[in-house]
Structure 1
């Protein structure tokens, strides 16, 4: 966890909080994905019904067409019998077309409703989590990079003088500001370590 490229803290407390937040985000996402899948499955049954109507109506239309063709061969009354059968076949094809339209529309609606139900709560939690994780990663990368040089350590020590509580500064040196001005490397390293720990980074030994 000490690498600047790893987006996790190296101090136990911060690391545990990050792992807990990761688990919460994963569980929350899994719950809403499951809800979205359930919504999609429920609406998709309407699409399946539409496609079944299309298939059945096309079958009926085919049978009526065949019956009409056969009736048309009957002498004298063939034309009278074939006309209604052909009209019924055309009506069955219209029903098949309506079923196909219902299937396509319900299929798209299933996806849209699933996304509309699942995406907002997932994004509502994931976006702040992602923002905080990226901010921490940037802060860690900067701090670890600074800590690798003497000048960077001095800058971290100066930030510690400005930001850390007085008792922690006094624990490093009785006169932390004077030690920083006098280039006391031990005190500077101790002050820089305070700033690294505040950023969730365990200082190198």
Structure 2
């Protein structure tokens, strides 16, 4: 698989682009974790409420158990303590529910902060890189097939094919640097010009002859 162009300038741009993309991903993942941690700080009151209410409920039930041992009046006196313990349990459950809600919110915020910027760039960068890899792979396969003849005919066909692609794909300034009239050179079978045009296209596709 050819990931980068053979032309040094374009290869450098591709490598730099990939490094910047990876840096972009890493930066926003870090920002997502920071955002999540910031939101999770909102759960501190819920944790405190859950701990305090649970402790109160345990103490009230302990008192309830001790009062229940008092002869004759123990059962009558335990009622208020049991009711208060139940209310404390309800408060602890509310605190736990708040903690869970904040945790879900923190996860959603962290994912949104990390994924949205990454996806906005990925929808541009990834298709461009995938298209290059696909074209380079197809060009390499075609080059191998045409060169397999080994009798010069394949080499000539290879040059003509990729020279024609160069005429369609390459900037005019690059074509003009090879010959003043590249179309006429290809049409007239100028072997030197055709080979240089083909090499230009092959390098752009990440393939060396």
Q: TM-score, normalised by structure 1?
A: 0.82
Q: Deviations over 1:132-185 (max 9, x none)?
A: 1001111211222223312343211222344443524427989513443xxx65
1:201 maps to 2:201: no
Match of 1:177 in 2: 186
Cα contact 2:43–2:103 (8 A) shared by 1: yes
Note closer, same or farther for the CA distance 1:89–1:163 as it changes in structure 2 (3 Å cut).
closer
Displacement of 1:186: 4.7
Where in structure 2 are there 5+ consecutive unaligned residues?
147-153
Match of 1:19 in 2: 15
Displacement of 1:115: 1.0
1:167 maps to 2:173: no
1:133 maps to 2:129: yes
Displacement of 1:88: 0.8
Deviating above 4 A after TM superposition, structure 1's stretches of 4 or more consecutive aligned residues are 171-175, 184-187
Rounded to whole Å, the distance in 1 between the matches of 2:83 and 2:206 is 80
Give the secondary structure class of the aligned counterpart of 1:27: helix
Rounded to whole Å, the distance in 2 between the matches of 1:12 and 1:172 is 26
Q: How many residues matched?
A: 196
Note closer, same or farther for the CA distance 1:127–1:86 as it changes in structure 2 (3 Å cut).
same
Note closer, same or farther for the CA distance 1:173–1:89 as it changes in structure 2 (3 Å cut).
closer
Where in structure 1 are there 5+ consecutive unaligned residues?
none
The match for 1:7 among 3, 18, 22 is 3
Rounded to whole Å, the distance in 2 between the matches of 1:69 and 1:203 is 87
The match for 1:144 among 117, 135, 140 is 140
Displacement of 1:75: 3.4
Give the secondary structure class of the aligned counterpart of 2:179: helix
Q: Deviations over 1:29-75 (max 9, x none)?
A: 22211211111111223345424432332222122111012112223
Q: Let me know the Cα RMSD of the aligned residues.
A: 2.5
Match of 1:56 in 2: 52
